[in-house]
């Protein structure tokens, strides 16, 4: 029973980090219709930005701010330099997908050249162990869950209670109609890439604090995020969070019967079951158009 409880807690911790990346990826996909695989390198850029800033003597909180700002900048630059020119020439979804994968590979290698491929750990967080009822975790793990919850609720509040958030939802629902009523879709796209990129950075930074990060750390993150978004329903932020939590719990509970190296297979198993039983996702609606 203690093992089950421990794995369940581990699953919630992992799922909370997955949820940050999935919500950010889902926000970009649902609004722009672009399957943003390069989000993986944006994720890594946030962690390495914080690591670089901390190495230059900045306090941890300031280094985290630098990492989040750096991730937002990288995400916006990818939109401006890569995706926007392709949309202007009416490039096909496949071309945009390939360009996104190319961007991911090129920038991952750039990080590896700049920082080496060795795992880097971001030091400075006061970590203490906690044991409750035979279940162990650390204050860093509590911070992971708390940060994920606050960012998730903040995003929902922003999308539903602010004028800019309502504009984003309008563009996500119908870009053509949004333009007719005077919404600048190009500006909304930039804003969504900035917000989505900034949201992914805290998850990467926390992972680098917990177990270290490598230049290719974003590859697994974006894969899980994509699966979570499809499981939860494309276009649904709560759905993305729910899908991420389900995958995190399923992967960790699965360790009771399946070797840990098969965790990726568990994620795809969840995807397969949901796609068969509910093709539009747990909380999703029918998708009319998306660039995948």
Q: What is the pLDDT of residues 238-284, one digit of tens each?
A: 999 999 999 999 999 988 877 777 777 888 899 999 989 988 889 87
Give residue 275's pLDDT. Answer: 87
Domain at 2-120+130-277: CATH architecture: Orthogonal Bundle (1.10)
Give the C-alpha separation, 136 to 35, whole Å: 37
Query: What is the 3-state composition of the chain as percent helix, strand, coil, each rounded to the nearest 5?
Result: 75, 5, 20
Residues 6+ apart with CB under 8 A from 263: 251, 254, 255
Partnered with residue 131 across adjacent β-strands are 136
Domain boundaries, the chain: 2-120+130-277
Confidence of residue 18 (pLDDT cuts 50, 70, 90): very high
Give residue 292's pLDDT. Answer: 41
What does each C-alpha distance from 221 to 38, 185, 243, 248 come to in angstroms?
11, 28, 14, 12
Pick from 200, 205, 206, 202: nearest CA to 224: 200
Count of CB atoms situated within 10 Å of the CB of 15: 26
Q: Is 39 in contact with 20 (CB distance < 8 Å)?
A: no
Instruction: Provide the 3-class DSSP secondary structure of residue 136.
Output: strand
The number of helix segments (H) and strand segments (E) in the chain equals 12, 2
Q: Is the pLDDT of residue 9 over 60?
A: yes
What does each C-alpha distance from 122 to 119, 206, 245 come to in angstroms?
10, 9, 25
Query: What stretch of H or E contains 12?
Result: helix 2-32
Task: Report pLDDT digits (tens) over 98-146.
Answer: 999 999 999 999 999 999 999 999 998 988 988 888 899 999 999 999 9
Of 45-49, 92-96, 178-182, 192-196, give the lowest mean pLDDT range: 178-182
Query: What stretch of H or E contains 138?
Result: strand 135-138
* Mean pLDDT score across all residues of the chain: 92
Give the C-alpha separation, 200 to 22, whole Å: 8
Supply 52's token pair: 């670089």
Give residue 290's pLDDT. Answer: 45
Confidence of residue 180 (pLDDT cuts 50, 70, 90): confident
Q: Is the pLDDT of residue 197 over 70?
A: yes
């Amino acid at each position: 029973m203690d093992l089950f409880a421990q794995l369940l807690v581990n699953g919630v911790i992992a799922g909370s980090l997955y949820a940050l990346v999935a919500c950010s990826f889902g926000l970009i996909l649902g609004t722009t219709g672009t399957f943003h695989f390069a989000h993986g390198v944006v994720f890594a850029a946030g962690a390495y930005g914080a690591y670089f800033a901390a190495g230059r003597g900045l306090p941890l909180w300031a280094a985290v701010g630098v990492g989040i700002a750096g991730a937002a900048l990288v995400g916006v630059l990818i939109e401006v330099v890569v995706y926007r020119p392709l949309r202007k020439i009416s490039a096909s979804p496949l071309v945009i997908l390939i360009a996104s994968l190319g961007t991911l590979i090129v920038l991952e290698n750039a990080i590896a050249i700049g920082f080496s491929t060795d795992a880097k750990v971001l030091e400075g967080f006061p970590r203490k162990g906690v044991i409750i009822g035979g279940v162990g975790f650390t204050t860093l793990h509590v911070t992971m869950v708390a940060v994920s919850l606050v960012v998730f609720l903040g995003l929902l509040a922003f999308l539903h209670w602010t004028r800019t958030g309502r504009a984003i939802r309008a563009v996500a629902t119908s870009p053509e109609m949004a333009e007719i009523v005077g919404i600048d879709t190009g500006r909304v796209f930039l804003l969504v890439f900035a917000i989505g990129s900034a949201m992914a950075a805290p998850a990467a930074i926390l992972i680098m604090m917990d177990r270290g990060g490598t230049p290719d750390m974003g590859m697994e993150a974006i894969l899980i995020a994509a699966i979570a978004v499809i499981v939860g329903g494309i276009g649904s932020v709560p759905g993305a969070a729910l899908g991420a939590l389900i995958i995190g719990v399923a992967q960790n509970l699965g360790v009771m019967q399946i070797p840990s190296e098969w965790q990726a297979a568990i994620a795809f198993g969840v995807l397969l079951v949901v796609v068969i039983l509910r093709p539009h996702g747990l909380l999703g609606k029918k998708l009319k158009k998306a660039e995948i």
